[in-house]
């Protein structure tokens, strides 16, 4: 990857993070405030508390794993011209 491609990739990753944030906000709202309208209780705990807290957490973890796996790319942080040997090391 040359510098221009890297910066393009960084921009894509930043935009993906923004959409991930939006997705988490939507999930959080529905799984918490939304589910609380149902008035369901399981294991002596209101359902919204489980889906809104633990649910949002698990959703976020799955989302960042997906981001890192499919959107984020590994590349050398140094300039290629200066250290061409780094390139190979990062492209596994």
The number of residues that bind other proteins (CB under 8 A) is 45
- State how far the Cα of 9 lies from the Cα of 14, in Å rounded to an integer: 9
Q: Which of residues 26-55 bind other proteins (CB under 8 A)?
A: 28, 32-33, 36, 41, 43-46, 48-49, 52-54
- State how far the Cα of 75 lies from the Cα of 92, in Å rounded to an integer: 10
Q: Which residues contact 73 (CB under 8 A, 6 or more apart)?
A: 1, 9, 13
Which residues of this chain interact with other proteins, rule CB under 8 A?
A: 3, 6-7, 10-11, 13-14, 16-18, 20-21, 24-25, 28, 32-33, 36, 41, 43-46, 48-49, 52-54, 56-57, 60-61, 64-65, 67-68, 72-79, 90
């Amino acid at each position: 990857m040359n510098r221009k491609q890297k910066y393009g990739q960084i921009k894509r990753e930043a935009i993906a993070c923004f959409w991930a944030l939006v997705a988490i906000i939507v999930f959080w709202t529905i799984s918490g405030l939304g589910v609380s309208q149902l008035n369901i209780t399981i294991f002596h705990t209101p359902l919204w508390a489980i889906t809104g807290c633990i649910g949002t957490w698990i959703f976020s973890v799955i989302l960042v794993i997906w981001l890192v796996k499919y959107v984020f790319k590994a590349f050398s942080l140094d300039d290629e011209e200066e250290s061409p040997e780094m390139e190979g090391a990062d492209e596994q």
